[in-house]
Chains A and B, each alone.
Chain A
Amino acid sequence: MTARRPNYLAGVLSAIWLVIVLAPVYVLVKASLQTQPDYDSSGPLSIPHHLTSANFGRVIHSGFLHFFVNTAIITAAVVLIVVVLVPPVAFAIVRNRSRTVTVVFRVFLMGLTVPIQAVIVPLYFLISKAGLYDTLLAVILPTAAFSLPISTIIMTGSMRDITGDLYEAMALDGASAWRTFRYLVMPLARGGLATVIVFSALNAWNGFLLPLILTQSANVRVFTLGLYDFQTVSSIDAPAICAAVVLSIIPILVVYLFARRALIRGLMGVGGK
């Protein structure tokens, strides 16, 4: 491409949006490092005079570490379920041409946009009847189930990119379905698997509605609920709230720094077909 003259209008507009995006982020980080009297007397946008890490200590003492552990357990379990269930079903959808499997794929497509919000009442009913109310498992099962459709679609997408020649070479060597899956499909579909892991992990990590309706005691509380409770109880203490929010972002930020491409693709789950 030839060099183009700079687009000043776009530059100005993008700078305005940058301010809108970054101003709250600045306040968030700054307030988390300020004492409450400082924050209250100087206003959110002001430049801080001295910083403290006391807020983080206070947040951790109010039980957040435990909430993080709960969220981490849920996230790990959801990812495990998805990773075990999705690649085989995607393999079947891509390589088994029977009518049944086409129907399966359509069921997943329909499940794709049934919003989990619409079924919170029956979920609550079923989970209560199953005796799982107020356990981590109550959150894990539906979260994983509702991650399946998009994960399957991402996974089939990346398995379809494997060319027929390779399958044929495996078949000529007499490889079974399992060998084909283990030594051809999985190694080549790693990118799709990474996307699926990131997508389902983010979903579980940020989940709020299911823990809200399916748990109540502090020992199974997840951090999003912890944030919400913290906000209701001490809405006056903005610095502590900001510190809690900052803590909740750090793990995702780490993933963002080290696996940006997989994260973006995971985030795009729905949009990036």
Chain B
Amino acid sequence: MAALAATGERGRTKRSGGLKIGRPSFLWSLPAITFFTVCAIAPLCVVVWLSFTNWDALGSPAWVGVGNWRSLIHDPVLIGSFKITAILTGLGIVTQTPVSLLLGVWAAGYQRNRAILSALYFIPLLMSATAISIVWLSLLDPYYGLPHELHWLFGNSFFEHGYLFSYQSTAIGVLTFVGMWQWTPFHTLIYQGGARAIPQVLYQAAAIDGAGRFRQFFYITLPQLRNTIITSVVLMLVGSLTSFDTILILTSGRPGTSTTSTSYYMYVKGFQDFQFGDASVIGVLLVIVSTIISLIIVRASGWDKMRSTQEGV
């Protein structure tokens, strides 16, 4: 660690000496910027324009001004979708954070059994969201799945057709649980990295002062993981704002529209109802919200100060 810090220091002083030879010109970044502008920035501008038009995938978009915006503001499904997105996000954070924090801190230990178990914990990471959703859909089948086999645990009402998916509360429960299964390993990795970065000296000092395991956890581990917790929670925010595949495959927004999240509603508006103007309005809203969250990310993680964090170590 000390050696790294030393090279970092030296690197900066020498580098700011500023030899001009061998430095790349602006042209080096041009190909990537051009590609990114055409394929990612252009759609961002087009979505704003499309939100003021009517387009049904045939012909050309027709300008309608703020018509789409005005009608969507009063759309109860859209307003409901904000609530559902907020509920799913909140439940995701509340269920995933404690589990992944504890597992991450546990997996940060260098014991051999922990290394082997960690490798098993990460299995869900190897599966695509599509695969995970499809497996759980089969597993939760009311006739051939777990609710039937484990009816002593689930209760007999689970025999009724599609019980888990026919009420809002249970459907949200399923989405939350599958989200937890899918995402906990990822956040466990984040916490494992965070916990490994805590200097051992702190624990040794605490042990000398007679602090037990619980006190060490609450007075050293948790405070030291503050930034990691922020990063992880912000990633959960962005992730659930846009989580889409899981809802499409598991519930399709049903029953009714009671599990229709905002991004899923945008998909329905656009690619099922062919009202691309309305879908664009929702798209713009998603961009605005995610940009706000991205600003928080950049602030919280110090990505915008990459130079200084790298050299300050």
Contacts and interface: CB of A to CB of B under 8 A. Distances in A.
Q: Is the interface of A mostly helix, strand, loop or mixed?
A: helix
Interface stretch (A58-66, A146-154, A186-194): A146-154
Interface residues of A, number: 116
A206 B124 CA distance: 13
A131 B26 CA distance: 32
A123 interface: yes
Contacts of B103: 14, 17
A110 B299 CA distance: 12
B111 to A, nearest CB: 9
B126 interface: yes
Interface in A1-41: 1, 7, 10, 13-14, 17-18, 20-22, 24-25, 27-28, 31, 39-40
B96 to A, nearest CB: 12
Interface stretch (B72-80, B164-172, B302-310): B302-310
B50 interface: yes
B302 to A, nearest CB: 8
Interface string A91-109: 1110111101100111111
Contacts of B293: 113
A122 B43 contact: yes
Contacts of B184: 17
Given A24-B139, A121-B270, A145-B40, A91 B24 contact: yes
A141 interface: yes
Interface string B80-120: 00000000000000000001001100100000000001011
Contact of B40 (A40, A100, A148): A148
B303 A209 contact: no
A144 interface: yes
A241 B138 CA distance: 8
A47 interface: no
Contacts of B241: 115
A181 B130 CA distance: 40
A149 B40 CA distance: 10
Interface string A240-265: 01100100110011001000100010
B10 interface: yes
A145 B42 CA distance: 11
Contacts of A170: 22
Given A21-B123, A224-B130, A267 B102 contact: no
A164 B10 contact: yes
Contact of A267 (B10, B22, B125): B125
Nearest to B113: A11
B128 interface: yes
Contacts of B181: 20-21, 24
Contacts of B279: 121
A148 B11 contact: no
Given A153-B303, A273-B301, A249 B126 contact: yes
A113 B128 contact: no
A271 to B, nearest CB: 4
Contacts of B46: 122, 125-126
Nearest to A105: B306
B287 A119 contact: yes
Interface residues of B, number: 110
Contact of B11 (A114, A146, A164, A176): A164
Nearest to B278: A121
B112 to A, nearest CB: 13
Interface string A75-99: 0000001001110110111011110
Interface string A143-186: 01110110011001100110111011011101111011100000
B50 A125 contact: yes
A179 B99 contact: no
A205 interface: yes
B158 interface: no
Interface in A185-225: 205-206, 208-209, 212-213, 224
B286 A96 contact: no
A97 to B, nearest CB: 8
B180 to A, nearest CB: 9
Contact of A98 (B15, B26, B39): B26
Given A111-B40, A167-B19, A209-B245, 17 more contacts: A18-B120, A44-B145, A85-B31, A96-B26, A121-B276, A142-B40, A160-B310, A163-B11, A164-B10, A164-B15, A168-B17, A208-B245, A227-B130, A228-B134, A267-B186, A271-B190, A272-B190
7 contacts: A1-B200, A111-B40, A119-B40, A119-B43, A160-B310, A165-B14, A245-B131
- The 9 residue pairs across chains A and B that have the minimum distance between CB atoms: A145-B39, A113-B294, A43-B149, A206-B128, A164-B15, A122-B46, A89-B32, A118-B286, A164-B14
Interface of A: 1, 7, 10, 13-14, 17-18, 20-22, 24-25, 27-28, 31, 39-40, 43-46, 81, 84-86, 88-89, 91-93, 95-98, 100-101, 104-126, 128, 141-142, 144-146, 148-149, 152-153, 156-157, 160-161, 163-165, 167-168, 170-172, 174-177, 179-181, 205-206, 208-209, 212-213, 224, 227-228, 231, 235, 238, 241-242, 245, 248-249, 252-253, 256, 260, 264, 267-268, 270-273
